[in-house]
Copies of this chain bind each other. A is one copy, B any other.
Amino acid sequence: MRLSEGVEWGLHCAVLVALLPPDRALPAGRLADYHGVPPAYLAKHLQALSRAQILDSVPGPRGGYRLARPATDVTVLDVVEAIDGTEPAFRCTEIRRQGPTRLATREYRVPCSIHVVMASAEDAWRAELRRTSIADLVGMVGASAPPASLAKGLDWFQEVLP
């Protein structure tokens, strides 16, 4: 079981644009520079975040991406699902209905108990991801990152924002 690497990129990008001065946007290329990831591929993931209305995209010079809503209203789960999709990790193929002892379809009114357990675990996973917003992550950075990190980040904004 493996999450797309794009999930990590998307979350870090969301945190970074949450720190932007009001009404400014960061182009995809700058976000790729900042994180040291392939620009063309990151662009694809940012487009997914834009379609999910997590980011706003601004075309043209001084354009780029910014948050579409307050950082408090964007959960980690929102970003994960925008990039990785909402398909469950466990997909019940109903193998209980295969093989020599299978019954008629109408007999299977009760759900597959294995399916139920796996689904409830994924619910717990999602619930946990919903508990944290991008604003929380920004706060965590402020509270626990080396201060030099923030300072350097601010310098960098001055440099790259035209």
**Residues in A lying within 8 Å of B, measured CB to CB:** 1-5, 7-9, 11-12, 15, 33-37, 76, 84, 87, 89-93, 95-96, 98-101, 103, 107-110, 113-114, 116-118, 120-129, 132, 137, 140-141, 144-146, 148-149, 152-153, 155-156
Q: Are B145 and A110 in contact (CB under 8 A)?
A: yes
Contact A120 B114 (CB under 8 A): no
Query: In the complex the two chains form, is A12's CB within 8 Å of B113's CB?
Result: no
Copies of this chain: 2
CB distance A149 to B103 under 8 Å? yes
Partner of A15, one of B2, B90, B114, B137: B114
Partner of A125, one of B98, B114, B121: B121
CA separation between A100 and B34, bound complex, in Å? 6
Chain B residues whose C-beta falls within 8 Å of the C-beta of A11 in the assembled complex: 114
Residue of B nearest to A113 (CB): B140
What are 13 sample pairs from A and B whose C-beta atoms fall under 8 A apart? A1-B4, A1-B87, A5-B91, A9-B95, A12-B114, A35-B96, A36-B95, A103-B149, A108-B146, A117-B128, A118-B129, A120-B128, A121-B129
* Other A-B pairs, 13, CB within 8 Å; known A34-B99, A120-B128: A1-B84, A1-B87, A2-B89, A3-B90, A3-B118, A8-B92, A12-B95, A34-B101, A35-B99, A103-B149, A107-B148, A113-B140, A124-B127
